[in-house]
Amino acid sequence: MTLKPWRSDAVRSDAVRSAMAPLLAAHRSACPAGDEAELLRGYEVAERLHRGQLRKSGAPYITHPLAVAIILAGMGLDSTTLLAALLHDTVEDTPYTIGEVRADFGEEVAVLVDGVTKLDGGKWGERAEAETLRKIVLSAAADLRVLVIKLADRLHNLRTLGYQPPHKQARYAEASLELLVPFAERLGIHVLKREMDDLAFAAREPEQYAAAARALRSALSGTGAAFGPTLARLRAALAEQRIRGRIEIRPRHVYAVHRERDGDVAGLRPNEAARLLLLVDGDDQDCYIALGAVHAALHPVQGRVKDFIALPKANLYQSLHTRVISTDGDLFDVIIRSRAMHPVAEYGIVAHIRDAGNGVATADTVAGRRDLVWLSRLLAWQSDVPSAEFLAGLRADLASGNVAVFTTAGEVVTLPAGATALDFAYALATETGDRSIGALVNGRLAALSAEMRSGNVVEILTDPDSVPSADWLRFAVTAPARVHIQQWLARQRAEEAAVAGRRRLVLALAGREVDLLAAEAHGDSLAVARDLGYTEPDEMYAALTLGSVGLDDLLSRFTRA
């Protein structure tokens, strides 16, 4: 059912343009040279395919892909991404096929649409969710825009989650916080993460969300008076140092306030509900001069200065964070960054895609990027585990919080909170993990179970004769480490079972005057194994130990051979 370029009358054309007006306006603002004609064609195709389908709200289904495309247009993404967003549910929910997408809109759009298309639950059953996520991860490795579209798709579904029954709302919100929000964090797309945080929190814990939202609104209503004197002192200090820029009061989002205060939001004050953001007109050095000016104007809190310019976060976020005490004794959090840093701090990988053009999202251009090391590690272990273990490993791998640990050469290794020296060893290299026997943490001897802290300088001690131990699973945290240890132990058990099974078969065949070694040399053992469905004789011997194959059956087969 290949769909050719649309030809409609003036009324139909006006209706399409009217529906597309917000998307086209947003896209025109960010991408003046965008392909509006192709977007209009894509919308017309998607609307025709989804015609008659309704959302839970009762709205025509086309409102969803259009909303997803508008979210992406607001982030400044290219025409190809927006076109894929308009078509992203056609293959999943209509008779339209990927082949037809390719024929109508080209290979690039087809790759993006295919990447975000869910697997058929009827065919995959309970494995569908895990395998769909695995498919998205693999597709994102080829083009990161797949994951960006998926995040925008999830954001709009969260916005309209109120039309679902309460139990579905809670389950969907939980999955979002566990799996999709962390992807937004890893990609540095904080504009999506903040809203997804709040919407998922509202659906999962509506009463606690309402309490936190009320407290935040009340506190923010007093920011003018509370922040006024502090703003005046900071502006004067910056002017004295000839630092130009803009200071703005930046409200915190609801979920961040709730989590930081562990749900106790009573008495939330204006200085706790917002932070000060200083956008400097200048370079890195000007940001440090601005930090000095802030500290000259207001007393800094010891130990609360964080330098993410010299040491960017894993997602390449750069800013200076400090906490200061006002003349009235109130604590204020201040963030300092240059205007050049601001787009990356807000949009993460999207800012890089937007600035460098469509091609920056592809596999060749992202290879080796420090902010995508996590994706490389995920790709390295995901193919070796079944669906349920993949989902559990993905949750652990994406768990909130991370620590930045240094090698002795000064390289940064980012690990999830709670990771140990053993996880650090496996993050360096699989062989390093396998051979590890201990660690030097900041020059002091430490066990492999020692928990890593940000700023630790770690050297792994190895022994060429060391091998993984089952005990390591008690303190290995990261999925790559756990998966490799489990696989090594499984191979070891299989080898031991094969040795034991072969020894048993040797003795039994000897009683019948059959030499197993000679049978192996002549290929008889391999023939018997293949006849039983095993690739190699060792698999058959292990099956004998495990009881999957009977000894009498093997004896009769070998004596016949």
Which residues are annotated as catalytic?
92-93
**The dihedral of CA 283, 246, 26, 181: what is its sign?**
positive
**The dihedral of CA 224, 201, 354, 101: what is its sign?**
negative
**Taking the CB of residue 358, how many other CB atoms lie within 10 A of it?**
16
- Distance CA(536)–CA(265), nearest Å, equals 63
Residue 413 C-beta-side C-alpha neighbours within 13 Å: 25
Residue that has been written with the tokens 């076109």 in this structure: 83
276: helix, coil or strand? Answer: strand
Query: Would you list the DSSP string of 207-240?
Result: HHHHHHHHHHHHHHTTHHHHHHHHHHHHHHHHHH
- Distance CA(236)–CA(242), nearest Å, equals 10
Tokens of 217: 């609104």
Amino acid at residue number 283 = D
Task: With CA atoms as reference, report the closest residue to 321 among 310, 301, 305, 332.
Answer: 305
**Taking the CB of residue 424, how many other CB atoms lie within 10 A of it?**
28
Residue that has been written with the tokens 């078509």 in this structure: 87
Residue that has been written with the tokens 């709200």 in this structure: 57
Task: With CA atoms as reference, report the closest residue to 88 among 149, 141, 44.
Answer: 149
516: helix, coil or strand? Answer: helix
Per-residue three-class SS string for 332-389: EEEEEEECCCHHHHHHCHHHHHHHHCHHHHEHHHHCCCHHHHHHHHHHHHHCCCCHHH
